Structure 1
Amino acid sequence: MAIRYTLRQIEYFVAVGDAGSIAVAAGRLNVSAPSISTAISQLEDALGITLFVRQHAQGLSLTPGGRRLYKAARELLEGAGALHAMAGEISDQIGGPISVGCLVTIAPYFLPELRKAFEEGYPSAAFRHEVAHQADLFRMIRGAEIDTAITYDLEIPKDIAFEPLADLRPYALFAPDHPLADRESVSLRTLAAHPLVLLDLPISRDYFQSLFHRVGLKPRIADRSAHLAMVRTMVANGFGYGLLNVPSANPNAPDGKPLVFRPISDPIDPLRVGLLTMRTEMKPRILQAFEALCRDRVPPLASGRHPVQ
């Protein structure tokens, strides 16, 4: 029996099934929406079955038959990936697809450099990345949408493994004319008396507020933002001090105004950054290679260019 569909069409079908939208799937795969739409139509013609119900307001949803074929399609893609990995092992080359997730707040500081180094070292690899919040990273790991993720060691489920790579210690940042900017370090008690511009993301806000709560203090939250760049810019413009733990080689806010970085003098547990993977006895060689790269590159990225002196 002749096979009238391609693995590319199957890949697009699974991507749309995951996303529930052709536009979202197109963005994730970095291809045009019309290309995906055409591939889905061709696959439906080849299989003789309608895969999706098209709803203008809610996007696309799998038909009952589409749901059954979706599971088989995922298994087919996994088998194709395993075949590629086996071929690489036979030829002693590391290549094939790898999908890496990263926590949204730290992605700009780690992911681009790691991806560039990996693609230069393994030109046969097909690297794809996703930037997401913690809960979404857990979901994507479990759903095999990503192979690994770079994130913090917070609220890690028991079925997901975490390998620590580096510690990220918190620091305070100020505008140069802030009353605390000329100090070599600052205590939490001193900071608590001044207005704080809080990075308002689930993990970050809970972590920074817990630093004060552990020593019986409460920060004076003057303003907040879910965007790291906005926090830096508000601090540089005198709305308060900030608390961060991501590395940065840039001493200025996005608007060009200078910032001053100071370590916190209290003994504080740092956040750990590391790799998430599903607990399994066997990992593809390409994933092992990426993990080895992270062990080598992440520690200096986390500390070697840190602005606190």
Structure 2
Amino acid sequence: MDWASLNAFVAVADQGGFSAAAAQLHLTQPAVSKRIALLESSLGARLFDRLGRQVVLTEAGRLLLPRAKQMLAEADAARRAIDDLDQDIGGRLSLATSHHIGLHRLPPLLRRFSALHPRVALDLGFMDSEQAYTRVLQGSAELALTTLGPTQPPLHSTPIWDDPLHVVVAPDHPLATRAKVTLADLAAHPTVLPDAVTFTHTIVADAFARRGLSLQLRMTTNYLETIKMLAAVGLAWTVLPQTMLDAQVRVLPVAGLKLTRQLGCTVHGGRTLSRAAQAFIALLKADAR
């Protein structure tokens, strides 16, 4: 049993297939298949059943998966500890970030961090906030930079930025010229929002529910750039953060509505952070000030 084969096994299990695992690991599909075959041979047991294009874990695979993730997390922690023996900060720092933060908040921070700590290899993954939390729980990411929602131990979140949300429409939307807009006015028109399981959707839906109103959803998607486009062409109203406002959309003066989400950093409270992670968090907090 070797680390490369274990890593391939976890990737296939998490991604649900060999092709997706190969893309994640930057390998060819035959290379991933070979690693799985070597692991199955060394264990003397099949780990996956191949049902056409579908791949499912066998009983042995289900037994191995949590132990493999724990072994890989411990191996990564050992590598970080050895890297941290050097005077300069080095090693690998795995960050899971939401698309919005990655595009609108992170670029200047990444530039400064790389200049301060050139020996750190940044492993940056873009995903939904909820997926980023899962990565931290599993140990495949050391830090998650996301919209903050309710967290429970062992996760620990630190707010970094306040992120006000503005209700916007296309300049030619029926509500665009109103001097005052109510929640009832919005409820009468279709909206496009992130998926119902996201923190942002929950913030908006709760604001309407408290007033006995429901949303008229046209569709949902987790890409804010797509949401902005759909609003900008007049298909729906939506909410956008300050960093995405421009001439394509018009902010509505909605009476009695103040929507703010918090963006920040989430870590696993039961794990010791690498020096690289500690340095990155310090840079985040400095940026917040």
After TM superposition, the structure 1 = structure 2 runs for residues 10-29 of structure 1, keeping only pairs within 5 Å, are: 10-29=6-25
Match of 1:171 in 2: 166
Matched, 1:295 2:285: yes
In 2: Cα distance, 1:277 partner to 1:260 partner: 37
Q: Structure 2 unaligned runs (5+)?
A: none
SS for the counterpart of 1:290 is helix
Q: Which residue of 1 aligns with 2:192?
A: 198
**Is 2:93 the partner of 1:98?**
yes
SS in structure 1 opposite 2:243?
A: coil
Does residue 1:232 correspond to 2:222, yes or no?
no
Question: What's the RMSD between the two structures over aligned residues?
Answer: 3.4
Q: Which TM-score applies when normalising by structure 1?
A: 0.74
Report what 1:241 is aligned to.
237
Structure 2 CA distance, aligned partners of 1:22 and 1:118?
34
Aligned identity (percent) is 21
Structure 2 letter corresponding to 1:23? S
Contact 1:180–1:186 (CA under 8 A) maintained in structure 2: no
Query: Distance between the aligned counterparts of 2:119 and 2:5, measured in 1?
Result: 22
Aligned-partner residue type, residue 6 of structure 2:
I
CA 1:272/1:106 → structure 2, altered by over 3 Å: closer, same or farther?
same
8 Å CA contact 1:153, 1:271 repeated in 2? yes
The 3-state SS of whatever aligns with 1:169 is: strand
1:153-192 → structure 2 map (5 Å cutoff): 153-178=148-173, 180-181=175-176, 187-189=181-183, 191-192=185-186
One-letter amino acid matched to 1:15: A
Distance 1:114 1:60 in 2: 40
Instruction: Give the superposition deviation at 1:233.
Output: 2.5
Aligned counterparts of 1:267 and 1:38: Cα–Cα separation in 2: 57
Q: Does the 8 A contact of 1:194 with 1:241 survive in 2?
A: no
Contact kept in structure 1, 2:227 and 2:238, CA below 8 Å? yes
Conserved 8 A contact 1:153-1:273: yes
Residue in 1 aligned with 2:251? Answer: 261
Unaligned segments of structure 1, at least 5 residues:
253-257, 301-309
For normalisation by structure 2, the TM-score amounts to: 0.79
Q: Kindly state the Cα deviation for residue 174 of structure 1 after the two structures are TM-superposed.
A: 2.5
Displacement after TM superposition at 1:208 (Å): 1.5
Indicate how the Cα distance of structure 1 residues 267 and 230 shifts in structure 2: closer, same or farther if over 3 A, else same.
Answer: closer
| Counterpart check, 1:286 vs 2:282 | no
